[in-house]
Amino acid sequence: MREGEELDMDKLRAYLEPVLGSKASGLEAKQFPGGFSNLTYLLSSGDEKWVLRRPPFGSTVKSAHDMSREYRILSALTKVFPYGPTPIHFCEDPAVLGGDFYLMSYIEGLVIRREYPAGLDLSPDQVRQQLLNFFDVLGELHSVDLQAAGLADFGRPLGYVKRQVDGWCKRWTDAHTPDTANCDAIMQWLQDNMPPESGKASVIHNDYKLDNVIFSLQDPLKIIGVLDWEMSTVGDPLMDLGCTLGYWVESSDPDFFREYRNMPSDVEGAPKRSEIISRFSEKTGLSVDHFPFYFCFGLFRLAVIGQQIYYRYYQGLTKDERFAAMVKKTHVLQQMCLLIISGSISQ
């Protein structure tokens, strides 16, 4: 476990005994690598495994790391969406680990990060099918019946697009530092080019990317799990697709953007953004006439997230060098936004 992010295992074992029974006494924990927000740990006892999620240590902004919200949506989705981990127990007693946390099932499988793992040799046709399956599962999420899931009151879909633009612009302003990119023109363009509401309210993930899904070890084209629900809500599915495509680097993109890709979306066989958008429109019936807006928003939002992470380093709140590197990424994302605004890249 990373320094300062260790769990008090004695307290945890004692607390979880009523939940896990005799298995709790033998609990061991390992921290999952990566991530800049909520902390995730693999718990094991004998041959059984579970996953524990908790907010960052020292976090005082509950709304930014709302474990109960994550637990609620996972509980609701178990009835209607077969890819979420099964929630097991929620704890709101800070005496145990210093903050809220929850326990959920562990899904064993394949996670794809910046590159395909060694030994996974997919043909271009298989790559294409795997990545189309990735977007089809997102479409399945957007098709969840809100009433049947008990999530009709989970978010505020009316006015969602404007609230998102206003909110992320404010977050950028609050986290801006003298050494980072200038996004004034981008924020103004997003305000001036906001499309009408799509009229569709869906469960949206808000951070749907390859390293947040799990593929089957037996069939690496098949998704068996979707992770990291901390930003999920009910809103416009076009915004969700735009946020995912903010991560989608393709082979024809500028080198400066390809250098910062974090998933292998530019390999031979990978579908282009234009194809993904058209397929999404065909399956949902939603207009994608304004998709440059959604794509630009997705990129800008990632720039803001990166800047917020960097801001913690700039203010001396962390010495983690991963945080320091985020300022370069904000410049890259700013340049991509400006290319969209100029019409050099449309989707």
Q: What is the DSSP string of 194-252?
A: PPPP-S--EEE-S---GGGEEE-SS-TTSEEEE---TT-EEE-HHHHHHHHHTT---TT
In this structure, are residues 221 and 129 in contact, taking their beta carbons and an 8 Å threshold? Answer: yes
In the DSSP assignment, the letter for residue 83 is: T
Please report the pLDDT score of residue 190 as a whole number: 98
Please report the pLDDT score of residue 36 as a whole number: 62
Per-residue pLDDT of 50-91, as tens digits, reads 999 998 876 544 545 688 999 999 999 998 999 999 999 999
Report CA 46 to chain centroid distance, whole Å: 31
Contacts of 316 (CB under 8 A, 6+ apart): none
In the chain, residues under CATH classification 3.30.200.20 are: 9-105
Residue in this structure with the two tokens 């505020």, named with its chain if needed: 156
Q: What are phi and psi of 178, to 5 degrees?
A: -60, -25
In this structure, are residues 262 and 113 in contact, taking their beta carbons and an 8 Å threshold? Answer: yes
Secondary structure element (H or E) that encloses residue 105, with its range:
strand 101-105
Type of residue numbered 69? R
In the chain, residues under CATH classification 3.90.1200.10 are: 124-342
Please report the pLDDT score of residue 134 as a whole number: 97
Pairwise CA distance, residues 208 & 226, whole Å: 8
Per-residue pLDDT of 198-220, as tens digits, reads 888 999 999 999 999 999 999 99
In the DSSP assignment, the letter for residue 130 is: H
Rg of the chain's alpha carbons, rounded to an integer? Answer: 20
Pairwise CA distance, residues 31 & 6, whole Å: 8
Work out the burial of residue 194: count CB atoms within 10 Å of its CB; fewer than 13 is exposed, 13-18 middle, 19 or more buried: middle
Q: What's the predicted TM-score (pTM) here? A: 0.91
In this structure, are residues 215 and 222 in contact, taking their beta carbons and an 8 Å threshold? Answer: yes
**Structure-block tokens of residue 172:** 């950028």
The stretches in the chain having pLDDT less than 50 are 60-61, 63
Residue in this structure with the two tokens 């680097």, named with its chain if needed: 249
Please report the pLDDT score of residue 188 as a whole number: 98
CA distances from 229 to 203, 242, 260 (A): 11, 17, 24
**Structure-block tokens of residue 21:** 């029974």
In this structure, are residues 239 and 165 in contact, taking their beta carbons and an 8 Å threshold? Answer: no
Pairwise CA distance, residues 193 & 223, whole Å: 35
Architecture of domain 9-105: 2-Layer Sandwich (3.30)
Secondary structure element (H or E) that encloses residue 50, with its range:
strand 48-54
Instruction: Give the class (CATH, top level) of 124-342.
Output: alpha beta
